[in-house]
Amino acid sequence: MEETGSMTTLDVRQAADLLHLNVKRVQSLARAGKLPAVRVGRKWLFRRSELDRLLAPGQATAKATPVLAISARNRLRGTVTSLQIDGLMAEVTLRIGEQDLVAVITRSSAERLGLRVGDPAYAVIKSTEVMIGKQEDHA
């Protein structure tokens, strides 16, 4: 990260980390003009302040958090209590209230999110069908 006066400049890796995207996607968006950037030689450079504005319009701060807008309404907030990474997959356990929810996601997703035990996280549930069952009483 370079600082020129009060302007902070990010390279493509730093911009990708800030935007939670992979480097190739950031380069593609910059090349297409969808991300504010300048190319110097073979390197892409990004102004931190411009990326902050994209992440949280009107609320940019030094540590801006991206705003997540999704269509799924079933979002359960919990805490990561277990993270088992094996090969290409990761098993994540979230404690939600007094219940545990286990999800299997890709290793790259777990790494991109920077998941760690103790982190707050959301389980987002999107399904086309939900079934309810009840044990029958045989009296």
Q: Considering 27, 55, 83, which residue would you say is the last residue of a domain?
A: 55
**Confidence at 95, pLDDT banded by 50, 70, 90:** very high
The set of residues, in sequence order, having a beta carbon less than 8 Å from that of 2 and lying 6+ positions away, is 8, 9
45 — phi, psi (to 5°)? -125, 145
Give the CATH number, domain containing residue 31: 1.10.1660
Give me the number of domains the chain comprises: 2
* 0.85 exceeded by pTM: no
pLDDT at 113 over 80: yes
Whether the CB-CB separation of 73 and 120 falls below 8 Å is answered with: no
pLDDT tens figures, 52-86 = 887 765 444 444 445 556 666 677 889 999 999 99
Q: Is 33 left (phi over 0), alpha (psi -120 to 50) or beta?
A: left
Give the CATH number, domain containing residue 117: 2.40.50.100
